[in-house]
Structure 1
Amino acid sequence: MNKFWIILWHTYVTKLKAKSFIITTIITSLLVFALTNLNHIIEFFNKDEKKTVGVIDQTGTLYEPLQMQLKKSGESDIRLQSFTGSEDEAKKNVQRGKWDAFLSLAYDDKQLPKATYYANTIADSDTPNKLEQSLQQVKTALATAKIGLKPEQVTQLYESVPFHKVALEKNAKTEEELNQARGLVYILLFAMYMFVLMYGGMIASEVATEKSSRVMEILISSAPPVQQMFGKIIGVALVSLTQFIVLFAIGFSSLKSSGKELLQFLGFEHIPISTFVYAVIFFLLGYFLYATLFAVLGSLVSRVEEVQPMITPVTLLVVAAFFIAMFGLNAPESSFITATSFIPFFAPMIMFLRVGMLPVPFWEIAVSLALLIVTIGLFAFFGSKIYRGGVLMYGKSTSLKDIKKAIQLTKK
């Protein structure tokens, strides 16, 4: 067992000290910090960036209501400027850069507002959309005044329909709880997806690298294949967990200080502890399932360049599980989602999705976990046999038929 800890510690420390790991962690941390403070970054660059829009009001009555509606809507980044000249002069003002755009206001046949927006390019859809929405409010006010509706009647007309959702099933989540659970589930599903793809490939590459240097022949003769394989799997898992904790700490602290609305929306404090427990269990089991497959496949290739084609089938399984989970976020009760939650390759994501959003009977969770653990055990048993022979195979790996050759080498 001492050899297992030596392999695990060596893998962990080597990867932790690697320049690629340090650089990747720093760059990713900066990206996480930037994303969680994106609203402040945008505000910083746009704080003095106001759009000046010239307005030709052919009616003589629409300019003031439009300006008041913009202020009422809180659109402080648009500055209107009344203009009494011709449209040709207004176009020249835009072309010369005096204005960002100009708006021509008029009445249609029904004596209701209409407008034409002029700009050098219309790639910026934000400004015209805000002007259109504000003008739409002015039009609504004029139209309702024409037919004699009072402001309070207009308010009643546009009020949302009271539509309440009530769950009859016992222990079923409320709509608010579902929205909060959906946010947490999405974050953890995405983390699991990235975790497996990034570090599963690292395990396969680690095995292939040592094999190509011929050092594997010495290692495999001095330590049992199971210890060798799981020492690398757990060592890389600890490296990835270290990076994950660093990124999570940066992201969470950044959100806590700058994105309180998002944290309140996710409502982590209202999520049951059992959901977090299941998240950890399925997360770890899913990692060990795929990591075992990646390690076995990595042992079949002789060069690092051959790793990617060999692990592609497993990668596609992870991608398929993720996309099924994305579908299940909006339809967690569908028969397809229920069925796939018992398939070991999909269970870490799909069953956790169901647990997070539905009151799933405990026996279903137990069956899914049992199938997942048994599958990991079988892969570990057969994987160790394939691993021992696979690391002694050299030459170009062409297909998964090499698994048979690896088993035959193990027997010898």
Structure 2
Amino acid sequence: MREFFIIFKQAFLTKAKTKSFIITTALMIAAVFLFANISKIFDTVQSITGSDKDSAEVLYVVDSSGDLGESLVTQLSANESDITVKITDKSEQVLTNEVRDGEIESFVILGLDSTSRITAAYSSMSALDFQLPMMIEDALQTIQTEINANELSLTTEQVQTLFTPISFEQKSVSPSAKTEEELGQARGLVYVLMFLIYFSVIIYSIMIATEIAAEKSSRVMEILISSVSPAKHMFAKILGVGSLGLVQMVLFGLAGFIALKTSSSDMVDGFFSVFGFSNMNVVTVVYAVIFFLLGYFLYATLAALLGSLVSRTEDVQQMIMPLNLLIVAAFMIAATGLGNPEMLYLKYASFIPFFAPLVMFLRVGMLELPLWEPLLSIGIMLVTIFILGWFGARVYRGGVLMYGPSKSLKDLRKAIQLGKE
């Protein structure tokens, strides 16, 4: 075991001390804190530059009715809008020219037809201006309701009863279904953790394959396997890089938690609410760790196997293309289930070992599954990892001694034959 831990330590520390790893980790942590405080930074910059004073949008209003303009000002103020309304007597053509010349941003022409229905024509330079027109339309709709209520001699209480919402509750008779609120909270958490598992498996699997190929290209491998068995070397590499990956993920998680908890921004509260972190399910997090580890060892073993077949780091990407296709397929299948995790093909896919880390995690995170389903999936993955490890050790034993250009996966047979000799 001494040789195993030496290689384990070497794989962990060598990657941990590289500039790329340190810089990437530092940049990601800095990005997390920047994201959590972005609104505070914007407020600080605006307060220093004074740009916030000029940020209020000015809306010019032409009111042919004589009453709607003042009502619009009152309603926008009641809605706590930052829009400054200026009533003007200029013609539509003059205002249109001013918009084109950049002198003003927008204007609206208001009027009442013969049936006391409000007519409004909004004009601005941008065709993608949606927020302000929607605010104006909502305010005018409220004014229209007041006009109609006055004509019908309705009191304020009677008007409010017209907009009383119904009581509507959605239920599912499926024994695995969660409530809509629980499903919404779980969906965001599962989505974030799925991305974490997906990118982690890709990044660290490629790291293992590249590390093995680099040792082969420098002929260091010949020295290593003379003092330690190739299988022990392979699993020490996998555990070393995997431990480094876990440390990095923990650092990112702690940085994100501290940054979001220490930030006083309303955006952070919204982030926690939308993505389900405000009511985090401990069981979902435990399953995330389990499927992260199993997915990593599954794909890392396959990456080590494939990495042993190449002699140049330039050939790594081509050789591990099947691995990348598998994890991309798993992510795409899981992503289709975010809207409806009860689809039948997801159930079947969750028991396929190369899809299970993402698909079964999606199902256990968003559904109330019987315990035997995730346990069966975990058991299938463990058996697959064992078989892949046994087969990978045989390939690895001969693959690390193969040099020259790697043609294709047909080199597996050659590696096994060489390992027997």
Q: Same fold (TM over 0.5)?
A: yes
Q: Which of 153-162 and 198-207 deviates more?
A: 153-162
Does the alignment pair 1:239 with 2:248? no
- 1:72 corresponds to which letter in structure 2? A
**Which residue of 282, 303, 311 maps to 2:291?**
282
Report the TM-score when normalising by structure 1.
0.91
Q: Post-superposition shift, 1:133?
A: 3.0
Secondary structure of the structure 2 residue equivalent to 1:118: strand
Q: Post-superposition shift, 1:150?
A: 4.6
Q: Which of 209-218 and 260-269 deviates more?
A: 260-269
Q: 1:200 to 1:82 in 2, by over 3 A?
A: same
- CA contact under 8 A between 2:61 and 2:108: conserved in structure 1? yes
Q: Post-superposition shift, 1:145?
A: 4.3
- 1:161 corresponds to which letter in structure 2? I
Counterpart for residue 374 of structure 2: 365
Does the alignment pair 1:56 with 2:62? yes
Secondary structure of the structure 2 residue equivalent to 1:116: strand
Report the TM-score when normalising by structure 2.
0.89
Q: Post-superposition shift, 1:371?
A: 0.7
Counterpart for residue 405 of structure 2: 396
Secondary structure of the structure 2 residue equivalent to 1:134: helix
Counterpart for residue 196 of structure 2: 191
Q: Which of 160-169 and 374-383 deviates more?
A: 160-169
The 1-side partners of 2:148 and 2:325 are apart by 57
The 1-side partners of 2:350 and 2:20 are apart by 36
- 1:131 corresponds to which letter in structure 2? I
- 2:369 corresponds to which letter in structure 1? V
Counterpart for residue 73 of structure 2: 67
- CA contact under 8 A between 2:8 and 2:236: conserved in structure 1? yes
Q: Post-superposition shift, 1:196?
A: 0.8
Q: Percent identity?
A: 46
Equivalences, count? 411
The 1-side partners of 2:63 and 2:113 are apart by 13
Counterpart for residue 27 of structure 2: 27
Give structure 2 stretches of 5+ with no counterpart.
none
Q: Which of 102-111 and 331-340 deviates more?
A: 102-111
Secondary structure of the structure 2 residue equivalent to 1:222: coil
Q: 1:133 to 1:306 in 2, by over 3 A?
A: farther
Alignment of 1:85-164 (within 5 A): 85-108=90-113, 110-147=115-152, 150-164=155-169
Does the alignment pair 1:177 with 2:170? no
The 2-side partners of 1:175 and 1:22 are apart by 42
Q: Which of 197-206 and 162-171 deviates more?
A: 162-171
Q: Post-superposition shift, 1:155?
A: 3.5
Give structure 1 stretches of 5+ with no counterpart.
none
Q: Which of 251-260 and 398-407 deviates more?
A: 251-260
CA deviation digits over 1:342-372, x for unaligned, max 9?
Answer: 1111111122222222222222222211110
- CA contact under 8 A between 2:184 and 2:276: conserved in structure 1? no
Q: Post-superposition shift, 1:87?
A: 2.5
Q: Post-superposition shift, 1:410?
A: 0.8
Counterpart for residue 361 of structure 2: 352
- 1:26 corresponds to which letter in structure 2? A
- 2:131 corresponds to which letter in structure 1? D
CA deviation digits over 1:97-123, x for unaligned, max 9?
Answer: 442222222334644222222333334
The 2-side partners of 1:158 and 1:210 are apart by 72
The 2-side partners of 1:263 and 1:237 are apart by 29
